[in-house]
Amino acid sequence: MKRQGGIILLTTIMILLIVSMVVLSGMQNIFLYYKGLNQFLEEKEVIYQLEFQAQQLAQKDWKRGEECLIGEQNPAQVIELLLSRGCLLAGEKAHYLYLVEELGIYPCLQTTLGEHAFGTRHLRINILSKEPKAGFLQLRVARPASLSACTKQPIHIPLGLLSWRYLSTAPMTLVT
């Protein structure tokens, strides 16, 4: 009888141990899920802040000769260029570096305002967050320009935002 009592006790302890391990494993999965969710929400907040600042820059009337307006650059090397000679922009929650590239006037990419056709002037807005969880956003924006002679079939495009590219630079250490 004592031998059976020992086996029952041992079996009960083993079952309790297994149940405890399953519960701890489930709790660990829940904590990892919440950690991942929080990181995702922080990343989204960085994107929203970058987008807001970039939209503010896109609405500005950029003229040649302005300090932060440069000629077209290689898109792959813009982050290094931003770090070396970007203009500082202070937002509500973070500081940013930005440069605006003049991509030129495209007479064959036309837009219509009212009944008049216009060529388009294209700008690429580059903005980089200086915070530890940094992000980089590029926007290509079209504005109306005077209509020049087009030697090809014109293509009609909308004004405003044409394309965007977002890169998460969180693993990168930014020098401030």
The confidence score (pLDDT) of residue 174 equals: 46
The confidence score (pLDDT) of residue 118 equals: 86
**Spans in the chain with pLDDT lower than 50:** 172-176
The confidence score (pLDDT) of residue 1 equals: 58
pTM, two decimal places:
0.74
What are the tens digits of pLDDT across the range 7-17? 888 999 999 99
Residue 113's Cα: distance from chain center in Å?
31
What are the tens digits of pLDDT across the range 119-132? 899 999 999 988 77
Best CA proximity match to 102, nearest among 150, 141, 131? 141
Domain boundaries, the chain: 39-168
